[in-house]
Amino acid sequence: MTTSGIPLLGPRAQSPEPKAQGREPGAESREPRALSFRRLGLVPYAEALALQEQLVNERRAGSLGDTVLLLEHPPVITRGVRNRQSAANLVASADELDRQGVELFETGRGGDITYHGPGQLVGYPILDLRPDRCDVHRYVRDLEEVLIRAIASFGVRGIRVPGLTGVWVGPEGAESKIAAIGIRISRWITSHGFALNVSTDLRHFDFIVPCGIVDRGVTSLEHVLDRPIAMADVQSAVEVAMTEVFR
């Protein structure tokens, strides 16, 4: 079954599994990770950034366990370290962004330029990857797997695209991005994270070249399924998938 050209999973279908990762000696005897989730609602980007910095310090000091922030932002365009000195992928002028009520923010995450706004589920995992997950590429692939599993619970088949980061839907060569990933890791403590389009106003992506990728589009869960999706249901799906993948 397809909607808008996007393949949907049948009721018994499973999300594609990533290639098996090697386990370090002694991993079998370790206690499963305990993740704490905080649903924060609509949070201005600068406030969320300050909160992440505080929690990273607490996680490093050992006064906080592994924590995942789930929230939405007011309309904001963020530029990662790769795009900070260039406006090449920012299409809209400062005046137009101001008229549309869209903030522009320079950030310390990896990646290029992206848009956040209401209807987009943003996840900021504050995790200590030590001792057994000290692999940046594995961490990114694990976040992709979380999102693939989460949208699979709504019947949508998410995929990876070779050479690109994030989660995509649609036929090969004409995929649309449904979730973006941009992370920061400092001494194996993570911050920033992922953004999953649920009911996002996709017109705002016209202000940028999302992640600097010119030949693919952007979509959302509601656009793919052609029906309303409750943000709380998506948050629950992400929490389940995150607990499974990071156990």
Beta-carbon-side half-sphere exposure of residue 181 (alpha carbons within 13 Å): 22
The catalytic position among 146, 211, 224, 241 is 211
DSSP state of 218: E
Alpha helices of the chain — where are they, by DSSP H? 45-61, 94-99, 136-152, 221-225, 231-245
Per-residue burial over 23-36, b = 16 or more CB atoms within 10 Å of its CB, e = otherwise: eeeeeeeeeebebe
**DSSP 3-state assignment of 43?**
coil
**AA identity, residue 145:** E
Active site residue 211: yes
* Cβ pair 225, 217 in contact under 8 A: no
* Cβ pair 185, 139 in contact under 8 A: yes
The alpha carbon of 128 is separated from its chain's Cα centroid by a whole number of angstroms, namely 18
**In whole angstroms, what is the distance from residue 164 CA to residue 146 CA?**
17
Run of H or E including 36: strand 36-42
Residues in Cβ contact with 20 at an 8 Å cutoff, skipping those fewer than 6 apart: none
Closest to 239 in 3D by CA, of 32, 2, 68: 68
Give the residue numbers marked as catalytic. 211
